[in-house]
Amino acid sequence: MANCMVFNTQIASIMEVLANAAVADICKLVDDDYAVFRLEITQSQKENRALRRKLQLLELKVARERVCASRPSSVKIVDRYRGMERGEGHLTGGHRSFVKPAGHNTWRDDQPITVDEGSGTSTQHIIVIESADAEGAGPGVKHERSDGEEDPLHSRNIQTEAAAGVSNSVAMEELSTASTLQSKTRCSITEASGTPDAILKSETVTETQRLLHTGSDHGPDPERLELGPLGCPSAPGSEYLLYGNPSPRMVHSHRDSGDVLESGNDPSCSYTTEMDPDNMPLGLETQTDLSRGDWNQYSSSVYPEGCLAKKVEVIVVDEVTVKVEGDAPPTWNVDETHLGEDHSQGRDFLNYRESLETNTNIATHSPFHALRDCEPVSTSMGPSDSHGRVLFNQVLNSNDRARAQAQRGGATSGNSKEKRFLCMFCNKGFSCPQKVEIHQRVHTGVKPFSCSQCHMRFAQACNLKRHQRVHTGVKPFSCSQCHMHFSHSSSLKRHQTVHTGEKSYSCPQCEKRFSHQHQLKMHLKVHMGEKHFVYTQEVLREELPQDTPAEKTFHSIT
């Protein structure tokens, strides 16, 4: 008997040793893989940056040729800057939009390049590009930029193709067009570093090109902001925070649905990179370009299988952009923006579980139950649906809002006595389970209320009811001082500021006041990130005194 016990003890100790050894091996493997993965990520990021620069340079070339061909009057301006390139002069304030750093020449001649042809022919933006290794000319040679004629919206954000509603199909069409263009422009920027594995799939290049355009949809072109006017540092929001953010935000992502629940900061379940939170919308633009099949594919990685059986398509806000193309690394700048969301929700869930373990008095309302209770929702939020894009933006923003509100004063705060029903995603507290269920539709995307006259769906019944006034034309809210009628009570309230002269929104920096929030937001851009833009428009106004759309935009923001 004693021998048996001793034997068992020995067996147990051996098992323990073996288990520890196995764990150590696993950890080592994970660490190794993680390091390799990080290396690939870093390399991919560099490659993407180089590709972007290449695309911009090519675009500039094409635009210049187009201008020369279609608008001879512009040649004078271009030649003028060309003279400056040779050291004959300087653009006012030493205006240099971006500099291609040496050692970032990882692109290749034979890579497919897409060039945005634009829609017009006139010259509005002349931006001198200084390139360290410009085409066939050696260091110091600059390129001119001459954007096509744009509508005012375009003029405000240079290259806001996505904002103009360019669809993916159009982008693909441009891709094919660009192939032809490439043969004309003959990109001859040589690869200096010669990184052997710098070859990216054409899709990745396309993605990069699309990012090039969509990125400016949400702020000044980060490339151009690398060196702001007069050499000022980049404005906040510059994509270059990706690489130089003093307080990088570390984000993680899970690889599969299980990681949603299980991954924490363990590198074995996630990869980490620096991200620029200001570029968050980029991912949305890209994810909406996914085919519906991909959409569903990605959607299947958010909830456990039991929930997936219910086919809730729209719960994928945080996941869809993890697009890994075979041996190519994920398309950075796109994915990483959403990885943070992923991880955030996963972390929230972990916190939630911890709270359950530590506080058994907290009542909860699981969204999984809600999902099971709900009919499968086939919302019209497909990736190719522009409206769906808007909805996803809103969903994403709402997720951020919900989390922010939860942090400010959710159930975890001193208010937990009344709001004891927690959202498992963001920990926000509500007074009753129904509120939680409604709220969690923010995270799940469930929209049980559909309009009978259109394809709109809503998460709240009252919103559907309000929406139906669009069809009925009923505007029950009328202004007592004019003949205006509104379908929204809040619209009426907002409108009445016209009569009262009330200006509720004041600028914290210059004491200016505005009656509408949008006005204040536009005004704040003047103080912050739009300085470069304003400067650019000033230069343009000097150079192009005619009333161009760019000039109108300039006036509109000042």
What are the residues binding DNA (CB under 7 A)?
A: 390-391, 393-395, 397-398, 401-402, 405, 428, 430-435, 438-439, 441-442, 447, 456, 458-463, 465-467, 469-470, 484, 486-491, 493-495, 498, 515-519
Q: How near is the Cβ of 447 to DNA at its closest, in Å?
A: 7
Taking the least distance from each CB to DNA, the nearer of 190 and 556 is: 556
| Distance in angstroms (rounded) separating the CA atoms of residues 201 and 205 | 7
Taking the least distance from each CB to DNA, the nearer of 53 and 447 is: 447
- DSSP structure string for 389-417: HHHHHHHHHHHHHHHHHHHHHSTTTGGGG
Q: How near is the Cβ of 358 to DNA at its closest, in Å?
A: 22
Taking the least distance from each CB to DNA, the nearer of 184 and 518 is: 518
As a 3-state breakdown, the chain gives helix, strand, coil percent values, each rounded to 5, of 55, 5, 40
Q: Which structure tokens are listed for 351?
A: 């916190």
Q: Which residues contact 232 (CB under 8 A, 6 or more apart)?
A: 531, 532
Q: How near is the Cβ of 489 to DNA at its closest, in Å?
A: 4
Q: How near is the Cβ of 307 to DNA at its closest, in Å?
A: 19
Taking the least distance from each CB to DNA, the nearer of 359 and 434 is: 434
Could you tell me the CA-to-CA distances from 215 to 35, 83, 161, 333 in Å, in that order? 29, 31, 9, 10
Taking the least distance from each CB to DNA, the nearer of 401 and 552 is: 401
- The candidate with the shortest Cα–Cα distance to 220, out of 539, 491, 542, 531, is 531
Taking the least distance from each CB to DNA, the nearer of 494 and 541 is: 494
Taking the least distance from each CB to DNA, the nearer of 70 and 504 is: 504
Taking the least distance from each CB to DNA, the nearer of 359 and 413 is: 413
- DSSP structure string for 35-98: HHHHHHHHHHHHHHHHHHHHHHHHHHHHHHHHHHHH-HHHHHHHHHHHHIIIII---GGG----
The alpha carbon of 515 is separated from its chain's Cα centroid by a whole number of angstroms, namely 30
State the amino acid at position 188 in one-letter form.
S
Q: How near is the Cβ of 160 to DNA at its closest, in Å?
A: 11
Contact call for residues 236 and 528 (beta carbons, < 8 A)? yes
State the amino acid at position 173 in one-letter form.
E
Q: How near is the Cβ of 17 to DNA at its closest, in Å?
A: 51
Taking the least distance from each CB to DNA, the nearer of 322 and 395 is: 395
Q: How near is the Cβ of 318 to DNA at its closest, in Å?
A: 13
Spell 533-555 as b/e; 16+ CB within 10 A means b: bbbbbbbbbebbeeebbbbebbe
- DSSP structure string for 448-504: -EE-SSSS-EESSHHHHHHHHHHHH----EE-SSSS-EES-HHHHHHHHHHHH----
Q: How near is the Cβ of 252 to DNA at its closest, in Å?
A: 23
Kindly tell me the burial class for residue 9, based on how many C-beta atoms sit within 10 Å of its own C-beta (0-12, 13-18, 19 or more).
Answer: exposed
Q: How near is the Cβ of 419 to DNA at its closest, in Å?
A: 7
Taking the least distance from each CB to DNA, the nearer of 126 and 406 is: 406
| Distance in angstroms (rounded) separating the CA atoms of residues 163 and 283 | 14
Residues β-bridged to residue 128: 144
Q: How near is the Cβ of 255 to DNA at its closest, in Å?
A: 26
Q: Which residues contact 346 (CB under 8 A, 6 or more apart)?
A: 252, 254, 259, 260, 261, 263, 264
Taking the least distance from each CB to DNA, the nearer of 227 and 377 is: 377
Q: How near is the Cβ of 401 to DNA at its closest, in Å?
A: 7
